[in-house]
Structure 1
């Protein structure tokens, strides 16, 4: 199994018993009770099935956990946060700079699962982040790594730039043994967060997390988080990049997970011109396509407002009449950030008494 997994592009394979995360239900309940899941109602709706693999599939006896590395190339010179040095560009999370990992990994998992069945029998189910499966606690129980203080999985061999996939099986396979926590007194990940999204070590309030705000959150982004977002337009890697265990990370081996050059540091000026058709073309096969043009453009407009680049003003103004009210509101906020007080006043006077769009009126007030 390990040899086959390596041949398929996986970087590690470990096994956990299907009942190996007894602490997960209570931790999940506390997370949901605190409201830390924000608008991700599907987490509460699937709480029972999510809390235990045995609830999701009672016949499961073992869970094979796989890791596939997606580390950025040329580390440490090509730092994953290099985009922060140029506010005229947009920052896209490392994992989303090429193909959708669901498409890449699921086919490999199915092939590995078929290999297992052909050699040992049993029934199998494969999952890649699309079902109510708590991959990180299972990966910790299997020994792939441990959940760090930023709640992401960390490996002593791989760092934290890797995807997880799982194969549930009715076979009773020998467990690998759980990994222990190696964070020690380090709090680099907690201190790096631009929006203070960690109320305590090992706890994440998604409502304050830039990854959640730019990807899962559908409405206007709360104003208190707009300036701290900087030029992060899809996801955020700050807490991952801060982890010292990433000194052991390596670049992705899978070509489909290697960053496209045009998505490493895309120019905001170019992204502001995207209509729906151009957005779909640019992000065809990318996980970014899932959030749609309007939500993506909302993020780009906020980054534009933080750019201090007055050359973006014409492109920002063009979105004051966008069909989507959230885009219009983000355009107003960006315009106010970019324009001088004189320009802001001129715009106000031009629109005063004539504005019929309640979303834009609210932003101007």
Structure 2
């Protein structure tokens, strides 16, 4: 199989590129990435010289380039990670999120349709469902109710993907995952930002009262779930991916400082984010039952691995951020 992976130089995308090349020795990967601030080809140093890996520097908003790549490569499937993904940035610059996440996705869908791509997997987020109260879980049937410009842009792209299945009969599949963490993550998201700032002796911000809850999923477990969807899911399907690993932000930061064996005095409350969703929680029953997937990482082990990776980076090659 030949896969086109968009956003393959980013955090989750680069993990998936490496995962596929390791697990499937006959597969070829074409990585299309615009190399924005969050894309880093160093994430792919271990596979850069592989004859089964090809990198193309391109933006998914460039339809002409997409057509050229799909025509020349003849890929069997698209796995679409490329997106603007940071909520704070979407609040400051929502237009960029519409351009990349909505228009870019529609560009990619249309190009894939016209060039006969067999399967199109769209990587989305649980944020499209909005916010939960103290109880309950998101299922695949939960209505979309996005509350941030980022979540709205992803919900919009989800609907375009669905429409290409319903209208054109394309084999599209959508995954909606909970918050990812792990090595290589760009340090603007909560876990890598907090680890890096703690290690550098800087204040670690905590939004509002610190009681916002997220379900945390190790990036490797996310990759195995996408693998299951790629190889076993039905056209038109939607799967939620989560680890039933809920933490409120305050307790999560305290957990990080406990593992670091550092005092929590660096944690500094800051004004809450605009439109900050209170709680996300995924019901992953469907992917477990229908595709046989389950997460393998314990949060303790995954968090220690992530902290060790950032500590090694800071010690041996300061990130300079």
Q: Which has the larger radius of gyration?
A: 1
Which has the larger share of strand?
Answer: 2
**Normalised by the size of structure 1, how large is the TM-score?**
0.21
Q: What TM-score do the two structures reach when normalised by structure 2?
A: 0.23
